[in-house]
Structures are given as C-alpha cells and as structure tokens.
Amino acid sequence: MGIIIRLAIAALLSIPLVSGSFAADAKSHRVSIQVDQNDPQVMNLALNNATNVIEYYRAKNEDVDVDIVTYGPGLHMLRDDTSPVKDRIKRLKELAFPGKIQFSACNNTRQNMEKAEGKAVPIISDATIVPSGVVRLMELQEQGWSYVRP
C-alpha cells in the first residue's frame, strides 16, 4: 500500500510540471529590422513595420521582441544630432513597453563617421551600441530571429 500512495503523490506532483510545459511551448516572436540607408522614408517604414508587428501580437496577447539594427548611412537614424525620427523612436519605445524593442547602433560605422567628421558622434539615449550592425543581424538570425529589410 505504501507504494500506491507514493505513486499517487508522484502523479500529483507531476501535474504542475506537465501543465507548466505547455506555457514553455508558446512560440516567441522575434524580428530584426535592418536600416542601412540615410533615408527618412526607409527609417519611417522600419518604424511602421515595428509598430505593426508590436500591435499585431499585442492584440493576440503574445509577446514579441523587435531589434532595429542600423549601420552604414542608416546610423543617422540613431544619431542624436541628425536623426529625422528620434521623436518617433521615443514614442515607439513607450508603445512597446512592457514588450522589448531595441535600437542597435553599429559601433564600426560610428567610429568611421567620427574619423571622417573629426568629432564625436552622439547616439540617442534609446539606442544600444553594438560592435557591428552586420554581425548583430547575423547573430540574431542564427538565434532564430526573423529578418526584415524595409
């Protein structure tokens, strides 16, 4: 009889583990969006794409991570002194909360711009500086992130 009780207890204890695994099986949504042009239309399209993705999954009560990766001429999107969309970036950051959105600024590009301009290149406070924008995109795709280029 002791073995039956132990089996019953083990069965009862395993129920939360089984039901908890269903939540772990929920698909996470992750998208990286590339911006490599100093073109306000491309920057706004990238922000539109991010907004649409966030709103779509929010309506379904599903989480989504977004990373807008800038490099080359696209770094102007995240430059505090030249960005034509920095106000929109702040609004999108607020819209995404509590979800995750990151704005990745390529440090290789930043350093090259600083050499060419002979001065420091300020990056907006909402951005994260990454060593290389191209490498960031590669690594995100290797981790299973979807990729969009507006």
What is the edge-to-edge ordering of all strands in the sheet holding 64-70? 127-130, 100-106, 64-70, 29-35, 146-148
What type of residue sits at position 68? I
Contacts of 148 by beta carbon, 8 Å cutoff, 6+ apart: 31, 32, 33, 34, 49
Predicted local confidence at residue 28, as pLDDT: 81
* pLDDT tens for the chain, residues 1 to 150: 566 655 445 554 544 444 343 344 456 899 999 999 999 999 999 999 999 999 999 999 999 999 999 999 999 999 999 999 999 999 999 988 877 999 999 999 999 999 999 999 999 999 999 999 999 999 999 999 999 999
- Alpha-carbon span 51 to 46, nearest angstrom: 9
Give the position of tokens 């949504």. 29
pLDDT at 15: 47
pTM of the model as a whole: 0.82
Radius of gyration of the chain from Cα atoms? 21
